[in-house]
Protein backbone atom coordinates (compact mmCIF):
# COMPACT_ATOMS: atom_id res chain seq x y z
CA UNK A 1 0.00 0.00 0.00
CA UNK A 2 1.25 3.49 -0.88
CA UNK A 3 1.30 5.97 1.97
CA UNK A 4 1.95 9.64 1.30
CA UNK A 5 3.53 11.80 3.99
CA UNK A 6 4.68 15.39 3.76
CA UNK A 7 8.33 16.04 3.01
CA UNK A 8 9.57 18.41 5.77
CA UNK A 9 10.82 21.78 4.56
CA UNK A 10 12.16 22.98 7.92
CA UNK A 11 14.65 21.76 10.49
CA UNK A 12 13.92 21.00 14.09
CA UNK A 13 11.23 18.93 15.78
CA UNK A 14 8.88 18.65 12.80
CA UNK A 15 11.68 17.21 10.70
CA UNK A 16 12.42 14.46 13.24
CA UNK A 17 8.74 13.70 13.79
CA UNK A 18 8.17 13.22 10.06
CA UNK A 19 11.32 11.11 9.73
CA UNK A 20 10.21 8.96 12.65
CA UNK A 21 6.81 8.33 11.12
CA UNK A 22 8.26 7.68 7.65
CA UNK A 23 10.57 5.00 9.04
CA UNK A 24 7.75 3.48 11.09
CA UNK A 25 5.35 3.23 8.14
CA UNK A 26 8.10 1.65 6.03
CA UNK A 27 8.78 -0.89 8.77
CA UNK A 28 5.08 -1.79 8.69
CA UNK A 29 5.37 -2.59 4.98
CA UNK A 30 4.05 0.61 3.41
CA UNK A 31 5.51 2.15 0.27
CA UNK A 32 6.18 5.61 1.75
CA UNK A 33 6.17 8.54 -0.70
CA UNK A 34 7.07 12.05 0.52
CA UNK A 35 5.19 14.99 -0.98
CA UNK A 36 5.77 18.73 -0.90
CA UNK A 37 2.21 19.65 -1.82
CA UNK A 38 -0.74 17.33 -1.30
CA UNK A 39 -1.87 18.08 -4.86
CA UNK A 40 1.14 16.09 -6.12
CA UNK A 41 -0.57 12.86 -5.09
CA UNK A 42 -1.65 10.66 -7.98
CA UNK A 43 -5.32 10.08 -7.21
CA UNK A 44 -5.48 7.27 -9.77
CA UNK A 45 -3.55 5.08 -7.29
CA UNK A 46 -4.79 3.30 -4.21
CA UNK A 47 -3.25 5.22 -1.35
CA UNK A 48 -3.30 6.28 2.27
CA UNK A 49 -2.23 9.74 3.46
CA UNK A 50 -0.70 11.02 6.66
CA UNK A 51 -1.46 14.72 6.33
CA UNK A 52 -1.38 17.88 8.41
CA UNK A 53 -4.21 20.38 8.59
CA UNK A 54 -2.22 23.09 6.83
CA UNK A 55 -1.88 20.81 3.77
CA UNK A 56 -5.56 21.47 3.09
CA UNK A 57 -5.90 25.24 3.58
CA UNK A 58 -9.50 25.10 2.42
CA UNK A 59 -8.55 24.18 -1.15
CA UNK A 60 -11.25 22.16 -2.91
CA UNK A 61 -8.61 20.25 -4.88
CA UNK A 62 -6.97 19.17 -1.63
CA UNK A 63 -10.30 17.98 -0.28
CA UNK A 64 -10.73 15.90 -3.43
CA UNK A 65 -7.36 14.23 -2.73
CA UNK A 66 -8.57 13.35 0.77
CA UNK A 67 -11.87 12.08 -0.55
CA UNK A 68 -10.26 9.68 -3.04
CA UNK A 69 -7.85 8.14 -0.53
CA UNK A 70 -8.61 4.80 1.08
CA UNK A 71 -7.53 6.10 4.49
CA UNK A 72 -6.41 9.49 5.77
CA UNK A 73 -4.71 10.23 9.10
CA UNK A 74 -5.22 13.98 9.44
CA UNK A 75 -3.53 16.01 12.18
CA UNK A 76 -5.86 18.86 13.18
CA UNK A 77 -5.56 21.97 15.31
CA UNK A 78 -8.03 22.92 18.09
CA UNK A 79 -11.00 25.08 17.16
CA UNK A 80 -10.32 27.10 20.30
CA UNK A 81 -7.24 27.65 22.41
CA UNK A 82 -7.09 29.83 25.53
CA UNK A 83 -5.55 33.31 25.40
CA UNK A 84 -2.97 34.62 25.07
CA UNK A 85 -1.77 31.67 22.97
CA UNK A 86 -5.01 31.24 21.04
CA UNK A 87 -4.70 34.82 19.78
CA UNK A 88 -1.61 33.89 17.76
CA UNK A 89 -1.86 32.22 14.30
CA UNK A 90 0.29 29.32 15.55
CA UNK A 91 -2.65 28.18 17.69
CA UNK A 92 -5.54 28.83 15.35
CA UNK A 93 -7.35 26.31 13.19
CA UNK A 94 -6.73 27.34 9.57
CA UNK A 95 -9.82 25.69 8.07
CA UNK A 96 -13.27 27.17 7.53
CA UNK A 97 -16.40 25.72 9.12
CA UNK A 98 -17.50 24.46 5.70
CA UNK A 99 -14.20 22.65 5.15
CA UNK A 100 -14.36 21.14 8.64
CA UNK A 101 -17.89 19.95 7.94
CA UNK A 102 -16.83 18.29 4.69
CA UNK A 103 -13.93 16.51 6.39
CA UNK A 104 -16.18 15.39 9.26
CA UNK A 105 -18.43 13.67 6.71
CA UNK A 106 -15.55 11.60 5.30
CA UNK A 107 -15.70 8.39 7.33
CA UNK A 108 -12.28 7.21 6.13
CA UNK A 109 -10.59 10.37 7.47
CA UNK A 110 -9.28 9.81 11.01
CA UNK A 111 -8.48 12.92 13.05
CA UNK A 112 -5.69 13.12 15.60
CA UNK A 113 -3.55 15.50 17.61
CA UNK A 114 -0.43 15.17 19.80
CA UNK A 115 -2.10 16.65 22.84
CA UNK A 116 -5.09 16.36 25.11
CA UNK A 117 -8.06 16.50 22.72
CA UNK A 118 -10.46 18.22 25.10
CA UNK A 119 -13.98 18.64 23.77
CA UNK A 120 -13.98 22.35 24.61
CA UNK A 121 -10.92 22.81 22.37
CA UNK A 122 -11.96 20.56 19.45
CA UNK A 123 -15.70 21.16 19.52
CA UNK A 124 -16.17 21.58 15.73
CA UNK A 125 -14.38 18.36 14.84
CA UNK A 126 -15.68 14.83 15.05
CA UNK A 127 -13.87 12.64 17.56
CA UNK A 128 -10.14 13.49 17.62
CA UNK A 129 -7.66 10.85 18.78
CA UNK A 130 -5.00 11.93 21.26
CA UNK A 131 -1.77 10.31 20.08
CA UNK A 132 1.36 11.63 21.81
CA UNK A 133 4.71 12.02 20.16
CA UNK A 134 7.07 9.06 20.41
CA UNK A 135 10.58 7.67 20.29
CA UNK A 136 12.23 7.03 16.94
CA UNK A 137 13.67 3.58 17.64
CA UNK A 138 14.63 3.10 13.99
CA UNK A 139 16.70 6.18 13.17
CA UNK A 140 18.34 6.56 16.60
CA UNK A 141 21.21 4.07 16.84
CA UNK A 142 23.39 5.14 19.79
CA UNK A 143 26.96 3.96 20.29
CA UNK A 144 28.46 3.52 23.74
CA UNK A 145 31.34 6.01 23.93
CA UNK A 146 32.60 7.81 27.03
CA UNK A 147 33.51 10.95 25.07
CA UNK A 148 29.78 11.65 24.76
CA UNK A 149 29.09 11.15 28.47
CA UNK A 150 27.76 14.05 30.56
CA UNK A 151 26.34 14.17 34.06
CA UNK A 152 23.26 15.88 32.67
CA UNK A 153 22.26 16.71 29.11
CA UNK A 154 19.70 18.77 27.23
CA UNK A 155 19.33 19.02 23.46
CA UNK A 156 16.77 21.32 21.87
CA UNK A 157 15.96 24.78 20.59
CA UNK A 158 14.43 27.99 21.88
CA UNK A 159 11.24 26.96 20.04
CA UNK A 160 9.58 30.37 19.88
CA UNK A 161 5.85 29.65 19.77
CA UNK A 162 4.97 33.25 18.92
CA UNK A 163 5.49 34.67 22.41
CA UNK A 164 9.09 33.60 22.98
CA UNK A 165 8.24 32.30 26.45
CA UNK A 166 10.45 29.25 26.49
CA UNK A 167 13.79 31.05 26.28
CA UNK A 168 13.45 32.61 29.73
CA UNK A 169 12.10 29.38 31.21
CA UNK A 170 15.10 27.45 29.91
CA UNK A 171 17.64 30.05 31.05
CA UNK A 172 16.15 30.15 34.56
CA UNK A 173 16.53 26.37 34.87
CA UNK A 174 20.05 26.19 33.48
CA UNK A 175 21.27 29.01 35.73
CA UNK A 176 20.32 26.90 38.76
CA UNK A 177 21.74 23.69 37.32
CA UNK A 178 25.03 25.41 36.49
CA UNK A 179 25.53 26.12 40.20
CA UNK A 180 25.96 22.37 40.78
CA UNK A 181 29.31 22.36 38.94
CA UNK A 182 28.50 19.19 37.05
CA UNK A 183 29.62 18.14 33.60
CA UNK A 184 26.76 19.56 31.57
CA UNK A 185 25.98 18.86 27.92
CA UNK A 186 23.58 21.68 27.09
CA UNK A 187 23.07 22.04 23.34
CA UNK A 188 20.59 24.72 22.27
CA UNK A 189 20.05 25.55 18.58
CA UNK A 190 23.28 23.70 17.74
CA UNK A 191 21.75 21.67 14.90
CA UNK A 192 23.80 18.65 15.94
CA UNK A 193 23.55 15.46 13.92
CA UNK A 194 21.09 12.70 14.69
CA UNK A 195 23.98 10.37 15.58
CA UNK A 196 25.62 12.85 17.95
CA UNK A 197 22.27 13.50 19.61
CA UNK A 198 21.70 9.77 20.09
CA UNK A 199 25.20 9.28 21.50
CA UNK A 200 24.99 12.20 23.93
CA UNK A 201 21.62 11.15 25.28
CA UNK A 202 22.54 7.49 25.55
CA UNK A 203 25.90 7.99 27.29
CA UNK A 204 24.79 10.67 29.76
CA UNK A 205 23.47 9.90 33.24
CA UNK A 206 20.46 12.24 33.40
CA UNK A 207 18.43 14.01 30.70
CA UNK A 208 16.55 17.25 31.34
CA UNK A 209 13.18 18.19 29.86
CA UNK A 210 11.64 21.67 29.77
CA UNK A 211 8.27 22.63 28.25
CA UNK A 212 6.59 25.76 26.92
CA UNK A 213 4.49 27.89 29.26
CA UNK A 214 1.18 26.90 27.67
CA UNK A 215 1.75 23.16 28.17
CA UNK A 216 2.71 23.64 31.81
CA UNK A 217 -0.43 25.70 32.52
CA UNK A 218 -3.05 23.96 30.36
CA UNK A 219 -1.60 20.46 30.05
CA UNK A 220 -1.57 20.27 26.29
CA UNK A 221 0.96 18.00 24.66
CA UNK A 222 4.28 17.00 26.11
CA UNK A 223 7.25 17.13 23.78
CA UNK A 224 9.30 14.60 21.86
CA UNK A 225 12.21 15.15 24.26
CA UNK A 226 10.21 13.15 26.81
CA UNK A 227 10.63 10.00 24.77
CA UNK A 228 14.20 10.70 23.67
CA UNK A 229 15.18 11.11 27.32
CA UNK A 230 13.40 7.96 28.46
CA UNK A 231 14.29 5.88 25.40
CA UNK A 232 17.98 6.82 25.13
CA UNK A 233 19.22 8.20 28.46
CA UNK A 234 16.74 6.15 30.42
CA UNK A 235 16.45 8.71 33.20
CA UNK A 236 14.60 11.99 32.76
CA UNK A 237 13.94 14.90 35.08
CA UNK A 238 11.22 17.22 33.79
CA UNK A 239 9.51 20.43 34.73
CA UNK A 240 6.01 19.77 36.12
CA UNK A 241 3.39 18.98 33.50
CA UNK A 242 -0.22 17.81 33.96
CA UNK A 243 -0.21 15.14 31.23
CA UNK A 244 3.20 13.83 32.24
CA UNK A 245 1.95 13.45 35.79
CA UNK A 246 -1.01 11.48 34.44
CA UNK A 247 0.91 9.20 32.04
CA UNK A 248 4.30 8.97 33.83
CA UNK A 249 3.51 9.27 37.55
CA UNK A 250 6.94 7.99 38.61
CA UNK A 251 8.84 10.59 36.59
CA UNK A 252 10.77 13.09 38.78
CA UNK A 253 9.27 16.55 38.17
CA UNK A 254 10.08 20.01 39.43
CA UNK A 255 7.82 23.04 39.90
CA UNK A 256 10.69 25.54 39.97
CA UNK A 257 14.22 25.81 38.56
CA UNK A 258 15.62 25.39 42.09
CA UNK A 259 13.58 22.20 42.57
CA UNK A 260 14.95 20.83 39.32
CA UNK A 261 18.53 21.55 40.38
CA UNK A 262 17.84 19.85 43.72
CA UNK A 263 16.49 16.77 41.95
CA UNK A 264 19.54 16.67 39.70
CA UNK A 265 21.86 16.88 42.71
CA UNK A 266 19.92 14.12 44.51
CA UNK A 267 19.84 11.64 41.63
CA UNK A 268 23.48 12.25 40.74
CA UNK A 269 24.27 10.54 44.05
CA UNK A 270 21.94 7.58 43.42
CA UNK A 271 22.42 4.29 41.60
CA UNK A 272 19.83 4.61 38.81
CA UNK A 273 21.06 1.85 36.47
CA UNK A 274 17.99 -0.36 37.02
CA UNK A 275 15.63 2.57 36.47
CA UNK A 276 17.41 3.51 33.24
CA UNK A 277 17.13 -0.06 31.93
CA UNK A 278 13.42 -0.24 32.82
CA UNK A 279 12.60 3.12 31.21
CA UNK A 280 14.45 2.29 28.00
CA UNK A 281 12.65 -1.04 27.69
CA UNK A 282 9.23 0.46 28.50
CA UNK A 283 9.76 3.16 25.87
CA UNK A 284 10.74 0.60 23.23
CA UNK A 285 7.69 -1.52 24.02
CA UNK A 286 5.04 1.19 24.27
CA UNK A 287 6.13 4.61 23.04
CA UNK A 288 7.82 4.32 19.64
CA UNK A 289 6.64 5.70 16.32
CA UNK A 290 6.25 2.05 15.31
CA UNK A 291 3.53 1.78 17.96
CA UNK A 292 2.01 5.15 17.03
CA UNK A 293 1.76 4.18 13.34
CA UNK A 294 0.30 0.80 14.33
CA UNK A 295 -2.40 2.63 16.34
CA UNK A 296 -3.27 4.86 13.37
CA UNK A 297 -3.34 1.91 10.94
CA UNK A 298 -5.79 0.09 13.21
CA UNK A 299 -8.41 2.86 12.98
Lowest mean pLDDT among 67-76, 112-121, 212-221, 249-258: 212-221
Q: Mark whether 117 and 199 lie in a shared domain.
A: no
Q: What is the CATH number of the domain that holds 12?
A: 3.40.50
Q: How many domains does the chain have?
A: 2
**Which of 17-21, 25-29, 191-195 has the highest average model confidence (pLDDT)?**
25-29
Residue 10: per-residue pLDDT: 62
Residue 161 has pLDDT above 90, yes or no: no
User: How confident is the model at residue 157, as a pLDDT?
Assistant: 86
pLDDT in the model for residue 9: 67
Same-domain status, 150 and 264: yes
CATH of the domain at 207: 3.40.50.2000
Decide which of 108, 131, 154 is a domain's last residue. 131
Closest by alpha carbon to 239, among 253, 220, 221, 225? Answer: 253
Residues of the domain holding 248: 146-286
Residue 100 domain flag: yes
By the 8 A CB rule, do 192 and 104 touch? no
Nearest to 125 by CA among 105, 148, 145, 150: 105
User: Within this chain, do residues 111 and 157 fall inside the same structural domain, yes or no?
Assistant: no
Shared domain for 89 and 193, answered yes or no, is: no
Q: What is the mean pLDDT of the chain?
A: 93
Residues 244, 226 contacting (CB under 8 angstroms): yes
> Which strand ranges, in their side-by-side order, compose the sheet holding 184-188?
184-188, 152-156, 206-209, 236-239, 253-254
Asked if 163 and 281 sit in the same domain, the reply is yes
Q: What is the mean pLDDT of residues 37-47?
A: 94
- Residues 150, 124 share a domain: no
* 81 falls within a domain: yes
Residue 11 reports pLDDT greater than 70: no
Q: How far apart are CA 52 and CA 108, in angstroms?
A: 15
Rounded CA separation 267/180 (Å): 12
Instruction: Show the beta-strand stretches assigned E in 169-235.
Output: 184-188, 206-209
- 222 closest CA partner among 243, 208, 239, 237: 243
Express each pLDDT in 93-131 by its tens digit.
999 999 999 999 999 999 999 988 999 999 999 999 999
Q: Are 171 and 272 within one domain? A: yes
pLDDT in tens, 231-270: 999 999 999 988 888 889 999 999 999 999 999 999 999 9
Q: What's the average model confidence in pLDDT over 8-32?
A: 87
Residue at 231 is within a domain: yes
In a domain, 250, yes or no: yes
Please, which pLDDT band fits residue 89 given cuts at 50, 70 and 90? confident
Residue 296 lies in a domain: no
281 shares its domain with 224: yes
153, 125: one domain: no
- Calpha distance 122→78 (Å, rounded): 5
Amino acid sequence: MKLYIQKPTVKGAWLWINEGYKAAWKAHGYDVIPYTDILEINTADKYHIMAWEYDIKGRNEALEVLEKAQKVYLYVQPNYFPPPWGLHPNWQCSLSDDTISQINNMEHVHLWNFGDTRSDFFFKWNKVLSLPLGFDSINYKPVEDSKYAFDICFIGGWANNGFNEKRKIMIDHFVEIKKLNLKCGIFINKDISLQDEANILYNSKIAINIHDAYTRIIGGNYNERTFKGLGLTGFLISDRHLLLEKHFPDLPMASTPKEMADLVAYYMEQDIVEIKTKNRLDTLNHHTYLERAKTLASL
